[in-house]
Each structure stands twice: as structure tokens, then as C-alpha cells.
Amino acid sequence: MNRTFISALGLAAALAAATTAGSFAQTPPETRTGVAVTPPRLEIGVEPGASTVEAKLSITNLGSQQQQVNAALDDLIVTGTGAYDSLPAGATGYSVSQDGGLSTQTVDLGPTGSADSHADVTLSVNVDGLSAPRYGSILVKPVVDAQPDPSTASAKQRFVAKVEPAVLVPVIIVPLGENAASADVPQLASSVHLGLQPAGIDLHQKARSGGLDGLIPVTLPKVADHGALEARIDTRNTGDVLGRAFSHAQFTQVHPLSWLPAGIKDRFGIKDTVLLEEDTPPGAAMPGNIAETVASTEIDNQQRTYDAAPWIGLVRVTATTHMTVADVTSEAVTEQDWMLIVPWKELGAVLLAFLAYRNAWRVRRYFVERRKPE
């Protein structure tokens, strides 16, 4: 019996409106097109002895008109920024396309809401004797024909290209261990290793805010004037399988007396204050590469943006990161960094104003004393 782990983290929907290159006029809503593909990611764990695995991809037309859609099984790469990209089938040595294929490459979808607005495409892969990971990508793209622009006199020579999105679904196939069928938590085959190590964390001011902070383009190392903080967490994939890094970041305001012995701190109730805890979006990395995750003290509740960072104080971020593939999780690693928040530009301006006032008062007093009669 095959055990397939399909990670469906949500609905990957891509919408785009058609625009005219000549006039840039907005397309009426009733002619807008788009497709939704689910799941957005296929992670398949293969039990020992399995010969074939299958996974289903669901494609839905979100537009108001009939739409033809192409689905192609290509190769997969991960860019330096952690983004997925496709290569022609067979371009890599780990290509799923060498032993797999799709049930169909073209589907005709009816308008959204109709009975035929939805279609399934099945991926089938021969995994007999699989001992190493295989990767691929399913590129789902609406078929769009260039159309002449009727608003111009030279319509026969001018063409308008509709901007239509392509949805890329990563495919990761990995062999599981001998006890995969009976274990509560699946394990990778002995030939596959999943691991990571810390590669650095950088806590910095996310962006210069308004006021003097925006006017004075000067920064101090590890000192933020004020505003939201951002932590960039890097971990290196030390395994031999593509994985995704997930980080849990905790932002803490360090008490000014936290350096005292633990007994004294407990006696007087001195403790650090947790400002925010956040689970970051994942960052993907191929073996040997770095996965980056990002956490911030900025909170967006869809109506207003809040900043959990204090106006002044020492902030420490602690990030715990693990890597996963096909429901298998690596051991976690922890990294820390800190940032001192001090509105030094505003305080410096106040100090300069005070010194200027004081010197002006001394100069005035000097001239007044000179004018006095002997």
C-alpha cells in the first residue's frame, strides 16, 4: 500500500485582468480570467516496495468565459531567494518527468459556477526502486491567443497580449523508511538525510520612519531610531533533500536589570517582557543552500498596522527553526540577535537646540555686560 503525503496548505489562486497595450484601458470585470489550482504543493512519501504513486491536481476556472488550460510536467529548481521556478523537462538529474507523466495536458473549462468549470489532472510516477528524492513542477497556464487591437487603424499589424498568470505546483517525491507504514511519525529512508544548521540571523530596523529618522540618512550599528524591527533568519540545508524551513520567532524586551543574579531577579520580580511571538512563512532550499525566513514586530490586522516594538529599550529575538519534507521534521536549531532602540536623532536634535539656546544666552549676556557703563 502506498502512503502519499500531499501537503495542501491552502488554495493557490492566480487572477489577472486583461489589459490593452495601446490604450492601457481596464478590462471590464465580466471578461476577467483566472484559474485556481489545489493543492499548491505535492509532497509524496513513497513506502518501500511501492511501484507507482499518483496524486490529483484540481483546476478551477475563475473567469466568466470558457477557458482552455495547459498543464505541463517540468523540472523544478529553487532560486537563491527561495522561490520555485521551472526548467524544461529532463534538464536536471533528479527530474520527475523521467519516470512520470500527467493524465492529460489540456483541459477545457466552462465559466465559473458552471458544472464543467472544474477538472482534475492526475500525476502518475513510477517509483520502483526509488532510493533518492525526485523533484518536478506542474505548470498550469491558461491558453491565450494574441488578438488585434480594434481601437487602432492598423489593427491588422498591432496585437495585444493578455497578461495571464501561470501557476507552478512543486512536486517532491522522497523514499520513506522501512517502518513508514506502522510508525506514527514517518521517517525518511536511510539513504536520505534531512538536516539544517544555523547560518546567521540579522535583526535590524525594517525601514526608516518619518520625522528626523527619515530626513537624516545615518544609521548606527545595532541601534534603531524607532519603528518596526525585522529579523532575517538564515539556515543552511545540510541534508540531501529539498526542504522547507519554518521559524518560530520570539521578540523580547530585555529588562535593564536582567544582568543581576537569578535569585535577586526572582525576589524583586525582575523579568523580561515578551513583545510578540510569530511563526514565519516557510523558506525553501535545495541541499547545501540557505533557506531564509523573515519575522517582524509589525502586525497587520487588515485594518491598521501596529508595531509591537517599544519606543526605547533593548530588544532580543530568538528564532527556533526546523526543516520539513513529506511530513518528516528535522531537529530544530536556535539563533539569537538583539537591537537597541533609542530615538537618538530626536534626542540629538533636542540636545543641539538646548546647546544653541544656552550659547545664544551666553553671547547675549556678554554683550549686555560690555554695554554697562564703567
User: If you ran DSSP here, which 8-state letter would residue 357 be given?
Assistant: H
Residue 224 lies in domain: 196-342
Q: Are residues 314 and 357 in the same domain?
A: no
User: For residue 187, is it within any domain?
Assistant: no
CATH of the domain at 207: 2.60.40.10
Q: Which of 67, 124, 119, 115 is nearest to 96 (CA)?
A: 124
**CA angle at residue 260 from 259 to 264, to 5 degrees?**
150
Cα distance between residue 135 and residue 171, in whole Å = 6
Contact 141, 121 (CB under 8 A): no
If one counts the domains in the chain, the total is 3
Q: Are residues 170 and 30 in the same domain?
A: yes
Q: Are residues 38 and 97 in the same domain?
A: yes
5: helix, coil or strand? coil
Give 161-202 pLDDT, tens digit per residue: 455 578 999 999 999 988 755 556 778 988 999 999 999 999
Rounded alpha-carbon distances, angstroms, from residue 177 to 82, 191, 194: 28, 9, 13
- What pLDDT, on a 0 to 100 scale, did the predictor assign at position 9? 34
- Other CB atoms within 10 A of residue 356 CB: 10
Q: Are residues 215 and 256 in the same domain?
A: yes
Q: Are residues 169 and 201 in the same domain?
A: no
**In the structure grid, which three cell numbers stand for residue 302, read together?**
487588515
Q: Are residues 208 and 259 in the same domain?
A: yes
Give 109-129 pLDDT, tens digit per residue: 999 889 999 999 999 999 998
Does the model's pTM come out above 0.75?
A: yes
Confidence of residue 299 (pLDDT cuts 50, 70, 90): confident
| pLDDT of 355 strictly over 60 | yes
Higher pLDDT, 365 or 187: 187
Contact 246, 291 (CB under 8 A): no
User: If you ran DSSP here, which 8-state letter would residue 25 be given?
Assistant: P
